């Protein structure tokens, strides 16, 4: 994790152009936050880890069809989500469940979406993990990577034109930076100075393509210079650094209307999805090395060193997390699947005759 660094300036005027914040430990950011907030951050990180473990098991049992493991991304998701206000908009990538929980998304709603039950707001018409909720301003992700960047910039521009002091935060991986939407979005944000935070989780692989085959640039953060916006590379496994740097970027976007590209160095500790075999393209030694940087375990050790956490608190948290998850799974399993009539709902205010006829034909042929 050693990086050549040019220390960015966080306090005062926010300017991170081509900067890398030093890969410092938790201690550098400890004094600025209350003990209760640190504990709360850890609780969300650990809960998300428990959700992850449960969902992989459910997929292997055939109870949900598909899952995108989140393990290793908890610090990025939680640290950044803690910086937002309720009115801000979030455009997630594939691995932001922890951030959704921070925003207030319920576990019952989450597992209902995984299964696509009658309690799923999307009525089972979206892939698992591609959930959305207007009440927390959480927009659905999508399989075509990059298009969320355009949407996030558009929402930010609309807010700016209306005079609303809101920020849009969009997550994406290192592979997305090779798409046209990434360059279009950053260029537009730079020209029109939209209050957008571009949060790139550089987890070293775009499915199986390693980062060194993704770009010849020194980093992803350095690409910000071409579009006249601020760019910074941070340690994505340090939740306090993620929080502090993102908070500075969010405040600058809200108050000065400037966008920022944040590149968070992290690692996907599991496969790209439950359909992926990561042993085909990366070594066990590499995974073991990154496991030593596990963001959840590292933060727990730090909290214990500050007498903010204990083994007794850990056991209680795990019991609480398991109980919450079991309740959500039970709620999911007891619910029926949506009726076929829902196929033509929520698209048109008045369902067109041809769609109604097609549905009737399908139902009558059963």
Residues with Cβ < 8 Å from 204, sequence gap 6 or more? 174, 210, 211, 267, 268
Whole-angstrom distance, CA of residue 241 vs CA of residue 261: 15
Start-to-end CA distance of the chain, whole Å, equals 59
At 191, phi and psi to the nearest 5?
-65, -45
Which run of H or E residues covers position 97? Answer: helix 97-103
Quick: pLDDT tens for 230-278.
999 999 999 999 999 999 999 999 999 999 999 999 999 999 999 999 9
Residues paired with 91 in a beta bridge: 170
Contact 266, 73 (CB under 8 A): yes
Q: What is the DSSP letter of 336?
A: P
At 350, phi and psi to the nearest 5?
-120, 115
> In this model, does residue 97 exceed pLDDT 50?
yes
Quick: pLDDT tens for 110-121.
999 999 999 999
CA-CA-CA-CA torsion for 263, 134, 139, 14, nearest 10 degrees?
-20
Question: Token match 């007794």: residue?
Answer: 312
138 conformational bin, left if phi > 0, alpha if psi -120 to 50, beta if neither: beta
What is the share, in percent, of the chain residues with pLDDT greater than 70? Answer: 93
> In this model, does residue 12 exceed pLDDT 90?
no
The two tokens of residue 136 are 């927390």
Task: Out of 85-94, 134-143, 235-244, 357-366, pick the least confident.
Answer: 357-366
At 86, phi and psi to the nearest 5?
-60, -35
Question: Token match 């991986």: residue?
Answer: 173
List the domain boundaries for the chain: 19-335, 340-366
Quick: pLDDT tens for 39-82.
999 999 999 999 999 999 999 999 999 999 999 999 999 999 99
Q: Please, which pLDDT band fits residue 29 given cuts at 50, 70 and 90? A: confident
Q: Which CATH superfamily is domain 19-335 in?
A: Thiamin diphosphate (ThDP)-binding fold, Pyr/PP domains (3.40.50.970)
Please tell me the predicted confidence (pLDDT) of residue 13.
Answer: 43
Task: Out of 2-6, 88-92, 116-120, 140-144, pick the least confident.
Answer: 2-6
Please tell me the predicted confidence (pLDDT) of residue 27.
Answer: 87
Task: Out of 105-109, 288-292, 348-352, pick the least confident.
Answer: 348-352
Whole-angstrom distance, CA of residue 232 vs CA of residue 261: 6
Please tell me the predicted confidence (pLDDT) of residue 71.
Answer: 96
Q: Please, which pLDDT band fits residue 4 given cuts at 50, 70 and 90? A: very low
Which of 69, 72, 39 is closest to 57 using CA atoms?
Answer: 69
Give the 3-state secondary structure of residue 14.
Answer: coil
> In this model, does residue 16 exceed pLDDT 50?
no
- Based on C-alpha coordinates, what's the Rg of the chain? 21
Give the 3-state secondary structure of residue 267.
Answer: coil
Question: Token match 């992803």: residue?
Answer: 220
Please tell me the predicted confidence (pLDDT) of residue 2.
Answer: 36
CA-CA-CA-CA torsion for 85, 90, 94, 95, nearest 10 degrees?
0
Q: Please, which pLDDT band fits residue 20 given cuts at 50, 70 and 90? A: low
259 conformational bin, left if phi > 0, alpha if psi -120 to 50, beta if neither: beta
Mean pLDDT of 291-311: 95
Q: In the chain, which ranges are E strands? A: 19-20, 89-91, 168-173, 196-202, 205-206, 209-210, 230-235, 260-265
Catalytic residues: 268, 272, 281
> In this model, does residue 14 exceed pLDDT 60?
no
Whole-angstrom distance, CA of residue 203 vs CA of residue 172: 10
Quick: pLDDT tens for 123-155.
998 889 999 999 999 999 988 889 999 999 999
């Amino acid at each position: 994790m050693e990086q050549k660094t040019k220390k960015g300036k966080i306090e005062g005027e926010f300017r991170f152009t081509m900067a890398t914040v030093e890969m410092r430990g938790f201690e550098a950011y400890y004094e600025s936050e209350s003990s209760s907030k640190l504990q709360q951050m850890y609780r969300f990180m650990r809960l998300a880890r428990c959700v992850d473990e449960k969902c992989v098991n459910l997929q292997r049992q055939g109870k949900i069809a598909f899952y995108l493991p989140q393990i290793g991304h908890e610090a990025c998701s939680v640290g950044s989500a803690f910086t937002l206000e309720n009115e801000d908009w979030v455009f997630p990538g594939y691995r932001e469940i922890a951030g959704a929980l921070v925003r207030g998304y319920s576990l019952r709603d989450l597992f209902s979406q995984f299964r696509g039950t009658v309690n799923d707001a999307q009525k089972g018409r979206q892939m698992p993990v591609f959930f959305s909720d207007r009440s927390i301003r959480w927009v659905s992700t999508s399989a075509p990577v990059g298009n969320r960047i355009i949407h996030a910039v558009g929402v930010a521009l609309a807010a700016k034109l209306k005079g609303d002091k809101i920020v849009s935060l969009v997550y994406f991986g290192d592979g997305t930076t090779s798409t046209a939407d990434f360059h279009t979005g950053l260029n537009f944000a730079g020209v029109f100075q939209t209050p957008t935070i571009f949060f790139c989780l550089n987890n070293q692989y775009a499915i199986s393509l390693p980062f060194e085959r993704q770009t010849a640039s020194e980093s992803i953060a350095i690409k910000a210079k071409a579009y006249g916006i601020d760019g910074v590379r941070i340690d994505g496994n340090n939740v306090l650094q993620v929080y502090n740097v993102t908070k500075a970027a969010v405040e600058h976007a809200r108050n000065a209307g400037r966008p920022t590209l944040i590149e968070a160095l992290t690692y996907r500790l599991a496969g790209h999805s439950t359909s992926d075999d990561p042993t085909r393209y990366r070594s066990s030694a590499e995974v073991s090395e990154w496991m030593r940087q596990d963001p959840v375990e590292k933060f727990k050790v730090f909290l214990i060193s500050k007498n903010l956490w204990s083994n007794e608190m850990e056991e209680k948290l795990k019991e609480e997390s398991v109980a919450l998850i079991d309740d959500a799974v039970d709620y999911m399993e007891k619910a029926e699947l949506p009726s076929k009539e829902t196929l033509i709902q929520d698209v048109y205010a008045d369902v067109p005759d041809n769609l109604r006829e097609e549905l009737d034909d399908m139902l009558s042929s059963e």
